[in-house]
């Protein structure tokens, strides 16, 4: 989780803030890499770390796709029952910055 939260590509960060987060991200990645290598060996440890990053990237892709789907639904189906009950439902979901 520390690797995810220390990504330097967040909006609104200063240059020094980005550099600090990048350094922390590198540090946590090295810790995780060393852990996996000790546990599984050199090659398998590196492979395992790659799988971890693939899962993290896939979760970001899924979140982005979900947000696009909700935007499409909001733009296409504004007269559905859910919109009548909670008119700002789609806006609330799209405002989520996760």
Displacement of CA 29 from its chain's centroid (Å): 16
> Which tokens belong to 58?
């896939």
Query: Cβ atoms within 10 A of the Cβ of 11, count?
Result: 5
Q: What's the rounded Cα separation, in Å, for the pair 96 and 83? A: 18
Instruction: Indicate the length of the chain as a whole number.
Output: 98
The pLDDT value recorded for residue 38 is 94
Residues sharing a CB contact under 8 Å with residue 91, sequence separation 6 or more, in sequence order: 74
Q: What's the rounded Cα separation, in Å, for the pair 49 and 33? A: 6
pLDDT digits (tens, 9 = 90+) for 44-79: 999 998 998 898 889 889 888 988 888 887 777 666
| pTM for the structure as a whole | 0.56
């Amino acid at each position: 989780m520390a690797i995810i939260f220390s990504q330097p590509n967040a909006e609104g960060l200063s240059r020094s803030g980005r550099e600090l987060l990048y350094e922390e991200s590198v540090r946590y990645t090295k810790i995780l890499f060393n852990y996996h290598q000790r546990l599984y060996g050199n090659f398998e440890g590196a492979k395992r770390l790659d799988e971890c990053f693939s899962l993290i990237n896939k979760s970001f892709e899924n979140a982005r796709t979900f947000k696009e789907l909700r935007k499409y639904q909001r733009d296409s189906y504004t007269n559905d029952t859910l919109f009548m009950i909670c008119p700002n439902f789609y806006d609330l979901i799209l405002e989520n910055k996760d």
